Structure 1
Amino acid sequence: MLTVENLTVRFPTRFGDTTAIENININVQAGEIHGLVGESGAGKSTVGAAVIGLLQTPGYISEGNIMLGDTDLRALDVNQAHALRGKRISMIFQDPQTSLNPLMTVEEQLVETILAHEKMSADEARTRAIDLLEEIGIKNAAERIKSWPHQFSGGMRQRVVIALALCTNPELIIADEPTTALDVAVQSQVLDLIRSLADKRKIGFILITHDIGVIAQIADRVTVMRNGHVVESGETAQVLGRPKHAYTRALMSAVPPMDHKIDRFSVPATEGIEGASVFTGDLAEQWLLEEKDLPEDEQKELSIGLSIEALDVRFSGTRKSLWRKPEDFIALDKISFNVKPGSIMGLVGESGSGKSTVAKTITGLITPNSGTMMLGNEILPAGKSRSRKHASRRIIQMVFQDPYSSLNSRHKIGSILTEPLWFYGLEKDPEKRQELAASMLALVGMAPDAIDKYPHQFSGGQRQRIAVARALLARPRFLICDEPTSALDVSIQAEILNLLKDLQSKFGLTILFISHNLSVVRQMADDMVVLRNGVIEEAGKTEDLFERPQAEYTKKLLSLTPVMPKDWAC
């Protein structure tokens, strides 16, 4: 159905052309799911953009052929390509929140797409749109179609995006990281839907992802890419089960196992992969360990624990009637748990379970309705009652999910890293602040000269290292990591997780690790809490919960996590 031969894409620069992908060959059959895997920058998304005709300017196809059936896609003019795009080829993007227009209802967006490609009335288009929503698993489709995108959950929004892609009965759908931001339950639903559409409608899929577990579960064939070239291609069982190329074997070894715990994550030791040089920043290491500048009550112990008792968080609901009081939405329903000093606790659950609400409540961004929080032996003030000068503002730091949005793009790295030092009054000398920032970069495995660069000059993994360095420069003792590796490929994920493990062990940090990747949580966490709809379903030692889960919900999450067959492990 789709044949890509010797595809080469170049991007002109003032220093000459840069080759993004070179001599790429891919074939996709009707009803086949073809996986594209590789690290960030491998060229996966460029292949998809070239096929559908959405290459970013000034990128251009310099060589190669792209055939959709008997149609030469490179021979089409602008109008012909526009008519084909959306009709015969559709695309599912990574973030459903940015793929949908927030100013239009779901109905308006679906009907508009159908009418743009099909000759039918608005009523017929609306009927087809409702049928599509029902087909992809949205209940009460006739009512929900009138909703706005923000009224759907992440998984439901992704289903709407899939419905948009299906509007015109396309032959090929390019899915670019369609499940990266989704929890395991919603991810399983979306993958089952893609598999069903491929089987029933005989739609061909190009599935672009860095999650090898997803590829192992759903793809018929797979192509492994690196630095713009195809490394290996073939049937999934052959490529992942018996990889021939050293790079494929290296990627496979970086995937965290689900069935047992390991001491360290395997980082591919192949040329061109970013490496970590941990603990070379002697000045930063000494500064983090010294206690002379800490208040007396903090000198007793570097590690500190957190105790949460009957924490209740509610949000005001929407008033449905002038005469009826709005019902509150219960985000957290009197939950209690303890994070031991110097340990890592994993917090898992579906989207909307309350994981991020816990993090925001601990950091004081949300005021709970009731309950107590103890940081060490002191009560942790809640929300707005916690002043900016309160010690916990510094002691508790956070590493966010998206390294691309958590750093100010207008500031140099030096300014970003020295801000905690002057804000918390930890170092008054500007020159010493710069020295500490450069040393902290070395400590997290970055070159000290990165201090004079901007965030856009770094990869995703490097940005996340910088985010970790910024958190450490506040001299924290309690670190909250909210999905710190979900946007990273497996090799960079392994480096960041090893870094966090090293820092936690070296400096006695207490870490609350929030993630929907259960295989990562098993490797990182000493203890684990399973949340569902604001209620704790199960809590205990991580190994106990993985080996002998008691709650049905925990068993469900474990069963839905994509894993590779044991005989595929490298």
Structure 2
Amino acid sequence: MTEPVLSIKDLVVEFPFRDDVFTAVNGVSFDIMPGEVVGVVGESGAGKSMTGSAVIGLIDRPGHIAGGEIRLKGERIDNLPEDQRAKLRGKRIGMVFQDPLTSLNPLYTVGEQLVETIRTHLPLSEAEARQKAIDLLAETGIPKAAERIDSYPHQFSGGMRQRVVIALALAAEPELIVADEPTSALDVSVQAQIIKVLKKLCASRGAAVMLITHDMGVIAQTADRMVVMHQGKVVETGTVGDIIRRPREPYTIKLIDSIPTIQRKDGEVSASHPANDDSAYVQVRNLVRDFEIGGGGFMSLLPGKTQMFRAVDNVSFSIPRGETFGLVGESGSGKSTCAKMIVGLVRPTSGHILVDGHDIWAGGQGHQERRKRVQMIFQDPYASLNPRWRVADIIAEPMRTLGIARNRTEVDDRVAELLRRVRLDPSVMRKFPHEFSGGQRQRIAIARALSSQPEFIVCDEPTSALDVSVQAQVLDLMSELQAEFGLTYLLISHNLAVVRQMSTAVGVLHNGVLVENGPTDAIFDNPQADYTRMLLDAVPDISKVA
């Protein structure tokens, strides 16, 4: 019988505190065979990443392995001295981290980083290691690898950086790859490419993969078997098809039911309205934004020395009052630039943005209307909330700035009411942002957006940093608030299933151009543009699992 590459048996990871011991991983057991991709899925705090950290020997102190064993090709590795564990990392176990920008050194070219890793673990000369690095980059799908090898990480897109990280993980030809959320920061089309690269490389090299993710769609497309974790324990394990089609545990059923789908559910009807309606509440007309690139400083004063990059090119759409317009596209398509112009953070090169008939860039009354009526919910709730302020001050700031509340008692009453609206207890207003989970932080961000009593909210990837079940809760909350207050939303996302669930109309951006615009059902069921069809084809669909 074939020996498993990785065998975990009754693993326990504990974090001792002054008065208590927190058990992050509790009795976890599973095997991964050669060439097999095993997906480990669960919400934040389930113990997925901690299990991966235990395998590679990177548990932060005071955490430690308190029980069980981890074997690599039959050899026990969890009790090895640190110097011997360090020799395993890179050589026999490769690691692909979630954020490629933070796992690559910005001061070194990707070639220097690959060559260093290769020469640390393999007996190759500088020239041989460089050639192997070029071959690895080409194998992971980076075009013109021989030229790009001397580029720095910031000169690559997110998807290309993740390919570099995969090349680094494969550099010393490891037997096992631990991939921790390798696609969560990527667009749907780039995600599909990375999944394809991982699967192809595993098949050709016979490497085993432990794929850690909260995205069930990625698991469905990539993994052979899956392990479902909840609160540090394995609740269900089996083939991907068995678990997705015939889940046994209530937690697994809840996780699968929380996944938004790009298929329209029975009974849902998306409203239809003209793509550019002159009577609509929000009107975006012929929006253009150019950026200068290259030739900064003194060079910009010389004629012909500056180049212009058009990030948004003649974009027009409208949103009726109380409805949601979804704006989709890959990274670099111009979605966030559009959002920044609409909320007043970036001035358009040309074009007009009208909210309830007021041009928000005209100055005077339009400027005042924008500050009160237009708010934004950002992608990362931790980065968009001041870590030094208590929740009460964060939510109250727009009220004080706009003079909505007159005294401290009125402010506190309004803050308490807003917290109740977003399903949080008013007693949390004395806490700081770091004391909350990601989903709770995003609720606080929604409460802050509502505090100026806006009518139009721009939501820039509001759920991309959240687990699938928490994402479902936040989307339900946004829908309830829209119905209650008559809010108008611009929803920017690369998650097409979220856009299908929330939007009445959709615009598709590609290289700054709106290539398609119309009712949600029409765009999803009968896309006209090749680019839209490509985006829809790239969406992982768990309903297609055999």
The TM-score with structure 1 as length reference comes to 0.90
- Tell me, in whole angstroms, the C-alpha distance in 1 between the residues paired with 2:437 and 2:11: 25
Which of 284, 288, 301 aligns to 1:312? It is 288
Q: Following TM superposition, by how much is the alpha carbon of 1:377 offset from its aligned partner in structure 2, in angstroms?
A: 0.9
Q: 1:231 aligns with which of 230, 235, 250?
A: 235
Deviation readout 1:292-344 (Å, 9 max, x if unpaired): xxxxxxxxxxx972111111111112249999633211101111111221110
Shift of 1:262: 6.3
Q: Does 1:449 align with 2:453?
A: no
Contact 1:5 1:26 in 2 (8 A): yes
Alpha-carbon distance in structure 2 between the residues aligned to 1:196 and 1:186: 15
1:400-479 equivalences in 2 (<5 Å): 400-479=378-457
SS in 1 for 2:382: coil
1:315 aligned partner, one-letter code: F
1:81 aligns with one of 60, 82, 85: 85
Matched, 1:501 2:482: no
- C-alpha distance in 1 between matches for 2:287 and 2:81: 61
Q: Return the letter of the residue paired with 1:495.
A: Q
Give the corresponding residue for 1:398: 376
Aligned residues: 528
Contact in 1 for aligned 2:180/2:211 (Cα 8 Å): yes
CA contact (8 A) 1:262 1:523 kept: no
Shift of the 87–323 alpha-carbon distance from structure 1 to 2, 3 Å rule, reads: farther
- Residue 34 of structure 1 corresponds to 38
Code of the aligned partner of 1:201: R
Deviations 1:269-290 (A, max 9, x none): xxxxxxxxxxxxxxxxxxxxxx
1:476 is displaced (CA, Å) by 0.9
Retained in 1: the 8 A contact 2:6–2:33? yes
1:90 aligned onto 2:70:
no
Q: Is the 8 A contact 2:290 2:312 kept in 1?
A: yes
Distance 1:512 1:234 in 2: 40
**Is 1:194 the counterpart of 2:198 in the alignment?**
yes
> 1:357 and 1:263 mapped to 2: Cα distance?
35
Q: Are 1:513 and 2:491 counterparts?
A: yes
Correspondence 1:481 to 2:462: no
Q: Distance in 2 between matches of 1:241 and 1:324?
A: 61
**Which portions of structure 1, spanning 4 or more consecutive aligned residues, are displaced by more than 3 angstroms?**
261-264, 319-324, 385-389
Matched, 1:121 2:118: no
Partner of 1:74, secondary structure, is: coil
1:212 aligns with 2:192: no
Quick one: which amino acid aligns to residue 158 of structure 1?
Q
| Cα separation, partners in 2 of 1:371 and 1:388, compared to 1, 3 Å | closer
Give the one of 345, 363, 369 matched to 2:343: 363
Asked whether 1:254 is paired with 2:258, we answer yes
Partner letter of residue 251 of structure 1? L
Matched, 1:557 2:530: no
Query: Which amino acid letter does the alignment assign opposite residue 335 of structure 1?
Result: V
**Aligned counterpart for 2:71 among listed residues 54, 67, 72:** 67
2-side partners of 1:389 and 1:553: how far apart?
Answer: 36
SS at match of 2:368: coil
Is the Cα–Cα contact under 8 Å of residues 390 and 430 in structure 2 kept in the other structure?
yes
Q: Which runs of 5+ in 2 are unaligned?
A: 269-278
Which amino acid letter does the alignment assign opposite residue 340 of structure 1? P
Question: What is the CA–CA distance in structure 1 between the aligned matches of 2:68 and 2:230, rounded to whole Å?
Answer: 19
Cα distance change of structure 1 residues 91 and 160 upon mapping to structure 2, 3 Å threshold: same
Separation of aligned partners in 1, 2:103 and 2:369? 41
What is residue 7 of structure 1 aligned with on the other side? 11
The Cα of 1:387 is off from its aligned counterpart by 9.8
Q: Deviations over 1:399-458 (max 9, x none)?
A: 111122221222111111111111111112012111211111111000111111111111
The one-letter code matched in structure 2 to 1:76 is L
Whether the 8 Å contact between 2:361 and 2:367 is mirrored in structure 1 is no
Q: Does structure 1 conserve the Cα–Cα contact (< 8 Å) formed by 2:280 and 2:318?
A: no
3-state SS, counterpart of residue 67 of structure 1: strand
Q: Which residue of 2 aligns with 1:278?
A: none
Separation of aligned partners in 1, 2:543 and 2:307: 47
Distance in 2 (CA, whole Å) between partners of 1:435 and 1:340 is 32
* CA distance in structure 2 between the partners assigned to 1:55 and 1:263 by the alignment: 48
Which consecutive residues of structure 1, in runs of 5 or more, have no partner in the other structure?
Answer: 265-302
2:517 alignment counterpart: 539
**What amino acid maps onto 2:350 in structure 1?**
S
Q: Whole-Å Cα distance in 2 between the matches of residues 158 and 342 of structure 1?
A: 39
CA distance in 1 between counterparts of 2:168 and 2:7 reads 24
The aligned residue for residue 353 of structure 1 is 333
Structure 1 residues 28 and 567 mapped into 2: Cα distance closer, same or farther (>3 Å)?
closer
Q: Secondary structure at the match of 1:51?
A: helix
Match of 1:380 among 342, 349, 360: 360
Could you say which residue in structure 1 is the equivalent of 2:136?
A: 132
Alpha carbons 1:304, 1:477 under 8 Å: kept: no
Q: Does residue 1:143 correspond to 2:147, yes or no?
A: yes
CA shift for structure 1 position 257: 2.3
Q: Supply the distance in 2 between the matched residues of 1:387 and 1:101 (Cα, whole angstroms).
A: 48
Moved more, 536-545 or 66-75: 66-75
